[in-house]
Amino acid sequence: MTKIGYARVSTVDQDFEIQQQGLHTEGCQIIRSEKVSGASREGRTELATIIEFLREGDELVVTRLDRLGRDTRDVLNIVHECEQRGAFVTILDPHVSTRGEMGHVILTVLGMVAQMERSVIKEPARKHRQGESCWRL
C-alpha cells in the first residue's frame, strides 16, 4: 500500500509548500504537485499520472477536497476512478476517507460545497469585468 499525495494551487504566484508538508507528515511516500485550476480536469497531468499509477490498496491523499477539484461531478469521477483501481481517497481537512460508506456521503456534500464556493468566488469577478456592482445592500 502506497500513500500518494497530491498538492494543487490555481495560480503561479501561489505556493504549495504547506500542502506538501502536510502530505509528508501524513506519510505520503510520493507527492505530486501542479499549478493549474481545479475547475476542471483539463490540463491536470499530475493528477492523471497519479490515477494511472494507483494500484490495489493505494491511497490518494489531499489536504483539502478543493485541492482535488471544485466541481462535484469531477470530484466524484476522480473518486470513482481511484476505486476502480482498488485505491482509496483521503482528505486531511476535514479528515474523510472513502474506506467507508459514510466517507462517500461526506465527500459528496463537501464536493457540492467546493463547487458552491467556486461559484461565489467567480460571481463578483464576473460582475466586476462587466462593470456591475458586486455588492447588494
Per-residue cell: 101 = 460508506
The helix or strand, by DSSP H or E, that contains position 60, with its residue range, turns out to be strand 59-62
Task: Please enumerate in sequence order all residues whose Cβ is within 8 A of that of 17, keeping only pairs 6 or more positions apart, or say none.
Answer: none
Maximum C-alpha span of the chain: 54
Among residues 10, 33, 37, 97, which one is catalytic? 10
Any catalytic annotation for residue 10? yes
Per-residue cell: 90 = 483521503
Residue with cell 490555481: 10
Catalogue the active-site residues.
Answer: 10
